[in-house]
Structure 1
Amino acid sequence: MNKVLFLSLACLALSGKMQAQETAATQNPVEDEFTNLIESSNDYQGYKVVDYNELVKLRNNASQHYTRLNEELITQKNTIDQQQDQINSLEEELQNTQQDLERVNAEKDAITFLGMPFSKGSYMALMWGIVGALLLALLFFIYRFKQSHSHTREARSKLDETEKEFDIYREKALEKEQRLGRLLQDERNKHNER
């Protein structure tokens, strides 16, 4: 954009300068007056006799033309200076715009996470790293849960077996106690009968 702007301003300045040069070349009244003066003067012994009033008029016209050309030159120089100032201000504005654009792009590409700026790539890597760590932690806890669950199931089955064995033992002990109680009672009864 900077190049396009600079080239368009340069072309504009050059075209104005070329038009001024073409105008000056085609419209030169001093040269026309010199030609008219020479053609209208009389010849005398190989010399041209020029009318004094015409010569003074030519000098005044040449002076006026010179003054007008100087004024035109000053005007064109002022125009060139103004255009150069405008070019400089546009270049400065363009530079500021480019800096703003770079800053906005940097802000757009940066993400603030926990108060720290990250580029999008770093942020994505960090997020996927956190997701990966959480997945690993989840898999670890699932493994630990399954392992603990299998130990708990095993312990419950052993507890059930032990309770069954204890119930069987209690029944046998109760039967034995009842049998021994009957035997004792039988012996007491025998002893009392005697």
Structure 2
Amino acid sequence: MNRTIRSIISISLLTTGVATAQVKDTLRNPTMDIPVALTTKEDLSLNGQYQSVLSKSKTLNGYKLVNPARLSSFWKSLSDTLRTERKQLSQSKSLLSEHKQTIDTLRAQLAGKDNTLASANAKLDEINFLGISFSKSTYSTIVWSLIIILALALAIVIVRSVKFIQEAKYRSGLYEEISEEYQKYKVKANEKEKKLARELQDERNKLDELKNKG
């Protein structure tokens, strides 16, 4: 596009000086062709029109003799194209601005949803126990620590209970042994007491007989 504009400016600068030479050359050479307007069959793009202007222009002393009407037509096409592109550019900028506003709005909504999601996740991860808030990980650590401590305490109680039971069985056996020996001793003592009582009674009886005889 910039190359085309520079070419048009160069052609415009040459037109003023060349137009007079073209008229004089035409007068000197009546057979010289006068450029005609662009036909509808030609390439209507800017590059096509530019190439058409160049191809249909006469060359004089190394300069192109451009028909002002053809140059005006080309300039009109260029102006229309620039106007259209500027309009499209303005529309694109407006559309881009709208899209940017939409993106900013969506980003704000997304940020709000992220905050809401983070808050919801925090609430889901939070556990209230006895009015105290704990995270699930902290609560799980505390619970498992208590379970391990209680399990250890239970194991200690069971071990000590087993020892106490064994001690109680041992002492119960000793008591039964002593009780049995005591019962045996009691029986022997009772028998001995009865024997002594009989012997005492016999001695009393003998003493009474001696007294009666005397």
Taking structure 2 as the reference length, the TM-score comes to 0.54
- Distance, in Å, in 1 between the alignment partners of 2:51 and 2:133 is 88
Which residues of structure 2 form unaligned runs of 5+? 1-43
Q: One-letter code of the match for 1:128? A: I
> For each residue in 1:95-135, what CA deviation from the matched residue of structure 2 results, as whole angstroms up to 9, or x when unmatched?
7646755775x55xx8969x684354564344223212211
Q: One-letter code of the match for 2:156?
A: L
Alignment-derived partner of residue 146 in structure 1 = 166
Q: What is the TM-score of this pair, normalised by structure 1?
A: 0.58
User: Is contact 2:57-2:67 (8 Å) kept?
Assistant: yes
The verdict on how the C-alpha distance between 1:34 and 1:146 changes in structure 2, with shifts beyond 3 A counting, is: closer
Aligned runs of 1:34-183 on 2, under 5 Å?
A: 36=49, 39=52, 46-50=65-69, 54=73, 59=79, 62-87=82-107, 89-90=109-110, 93-94=113-114, 97=117, 104=124, 117=134, 118=138, 120=140, 123-183=143-203
1:32 is matched with: 45
SS at match of 1:50: helix
User: C-alpha deviations, 1:61-115, integer Å up to 9, x for none?
Assistant: 64344223311221133224423543554466457646755775x55xx8969x6
* Amino acid in structure 2 at the alignment position of 1:142: V
Residue 157 of structure 1: how far off its partner (Å): 1.1
SS of aligned partner of 2:67: strand
Contact 2:46 2:77 in 1 (8 A): no
The structure with more radius of gyration: 2
Moved more, 184-193 or 128-137: 184-193
CA contact (8 A) 1:34 1:58 kept: no
Task: Letter of the 1:67 partner, please give it.
Answer: K
What is the count of residue pairs matched by the alignment?
Answer: 161
* Counterpart residue identity of residue 68, structure 2: V
Residue pair 1:37, 1:50 contacting (<8 A) in 2 also = no
RMSD: 4.2
Q: Distance in 2 between matches of 1:116 and 1:43?
A: 91
Contact 1:33 1:58 (8 Å CA) reproduced: yes
Distance 1:94 1:143 in 2: 61
Residues of 2 paired with 1:61 and 1:116: CA distance? 70
Amino acid at match of 2:103: Q
Give CA deviations for 1:42-72 in whole Å, capped at 9, x if unaligned.
8698233127995667645643442233112
User: 1 or 2, which has the higher helix percentage?
Assistant: 1
